[in-house]
Copies of this chain bind each other. A is one copy, B any other.
């Protein structure tokens, strides 16, 4: 899955502003608009680019409270089964299997502490879950898109 430097710069532009026109991107990377579109289409096909989304202030949406939850499972549970269990919970923003004592880390986002507690109860109620260790976020210090040319 290699990406040549030109593709990297195109992706960079679109990460910075997904609503740039192809012509605008072309001006930056030194290509014509049709050439840029062809490359973007190919990147979408290969799954390098997954799509384009708006970045929303979570506070404004009423999702101001978040937490990271270490999930400890009973016995051996496969990652796919963990995924299947946590995926239906709408407050789950992300989930990872991890090294260390915990089996997974679940990133929760809710409107307030109360809704967060409710989400936690549902999470803890899952049959695969033995216990959880929650860390509530007090403030988001930094939250940025990955740099495309950073590797």
State the A residues within 8 Å of B (CB).
Answer: 1, 3, 8, 11, 14-19, 46-63, 66, 68, 79, 82-83, 86-87, 90, 92-100, 102, 104-105, 109, 111, 135-148, 150-151
Contacts and interface: CB of A to CB of B under 8 A. Distances in A.
B54 A18 contact: yes
A66 B51 CA distance: 21
A137 B62 contact: no
Contacts of A136: 98-100
A75 to B, nearest CB: 18
Contacts of A51: 17-18, 54-55
B14 A140 contact: no
Q: What is the interface of chain A mostly: helix, strand, loop, or mixed?
A: mixed
A56 B49 contact: yes
Nearest to A147: B90
Nearest to A15: B54
A46, A102, A135 interface centre (most CB from chain B within 10 Å)? A135
Contact of A97 (B56, B95, B141, B148): B141
B148 A96 contact: no
16 contacts: A3-B61, A15-B56, A17-B52, A18-B19, A18-B54, A47-B57, A51-B54, A52-B54, A53-B55, A63-B150, A68-B98, A68-B105, A94-B142, A96-B141, A98-B136, A98-B138
